[in-house]
C-alpha cells in the first residue's frame, strides 16, 4: 500500500506561524487540519521566536495525517538573537555591535550541531566564532579572531570536555 505524501517547505517566524500565507494556501488544498499544523509548528519553533526558521510539513494526502520537521535558523540569525541585535556590523573588525559570552557561543554551537551532527563541538564553536568575526560581534569582550586563536591553543578546552 503506497501512501500519497506531499511535502511543503516554508520559512516561518519562530512561534508565530499563522494559517495565512505561506502556509494556509499550500495546506488547504491538501485537506489537512491547517490549525493543527500551525499549532504544531508554533509549538516546535517557540524557542526560535523572532527568527526565520525553515519548516517542512509532510502530509499524507490519503489519511490527512501530517508530520512537521523543523530546521535550524542560520548561524547569523542565532548569533543576532543571542546578542540582542537586529543585524551585524556594517564594518566588522572595526565597529563591534555586540558581545557574546563563550557560554552563548556554546549554546549556539549546540543548536547548530543538531543539524551538523559533528562529534567535535570545538570545530562547530570555531565556525560560530568565525561568523562573529564577519558580523562584528566580540566574544567574552575580545576580538573574535583572538578567541579563535585561544580556542585553537586549548585555552577554552574545559568547555569542550563535558559535552
Tell me how far the alpha carbon of residue 49 is from its chain's centroid. 10
Q: Where in the chain is the domain with CATH 3.30.1550.10?
A: 5-70
**What pTM, to 2 d.p., does this model score?**
0.78
Fold observed for domain 75-161 = Arc Repressor Mutant, subunit A (1.10.10)
Number of CB atoms found within 10 A of residue 80's CB: 21
Name the band, by pLDDT with cuts 50, 70 and 90, for residue 163: very low
Q: Where in the chain is the domain with CATH 1.10.10.250?
A: 75-161
Half-sphere exposure for 141 (CA within 13 Å, toward CB):
0
- H/E stretch holding 157: none
CATH number for the segment(s) 5-70: 3.30.1550.10
Residues in Cβ contact with 127 at an 8 Å cutoff, skipping those fewer than 6 apart: 75, 109, 112
Q: Tell me: the pLDDT tens digits for 37-83?
A: 999 999 999 988 888 899 999 999 999 999 999 998 989 999 999 99
Least confident of 22-26, 38-42, 143-147: 22-26
Distance (Å, whole) CA 53 – CA 63? 27
Amino acid at each position: 500500500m503506497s501512501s500519497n505524501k506531499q511535502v511543503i517547505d516554508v520559512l516561518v517566524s519562530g512561534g508565530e506561524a499563522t494559517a495565512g500565507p505561506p502556509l494556509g494556501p499550500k495546506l488547504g488544498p491538501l485537506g489537512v487540519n491547517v490549525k493543527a499544523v500551525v499549532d504544531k509548528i508554533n509549538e516546535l519553533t517557540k524557542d526560535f521566536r523572532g527568527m526565520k526558521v525553515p519548516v517542512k510539513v509532510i502530509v499524507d494526502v490519503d489519511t490527512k495525517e501530517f508530520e512537521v520537521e523543523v530546521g535550524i535558523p542560520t548561524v547569523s540569525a542565532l548569533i543576532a538573537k543571542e546578542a540582542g541585535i537586529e543585524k551585524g556590523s556594517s564594518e566588522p573588525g572595526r565597529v563591534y555591535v555586540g558581545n557574546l559570552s563563550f557560554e552563548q557561543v556554546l549554546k549556539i554551537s549546540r543548536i547548530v550541531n543538531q543539524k551538523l551532527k559533528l562529534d567535535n563541538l570545538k570545530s562547530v564553536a570555531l565556525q560560530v566564532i568565525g561568523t562573529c568575526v564577519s558580523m562584528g560581534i566580540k566574544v567574552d569582550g575580545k576580538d573574535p579572531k583572538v578567541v579563535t586563536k585561544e580556542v585553537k591553543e586549548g585555552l577554552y578546552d574545559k568547555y569542550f570536555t563535558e559535552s
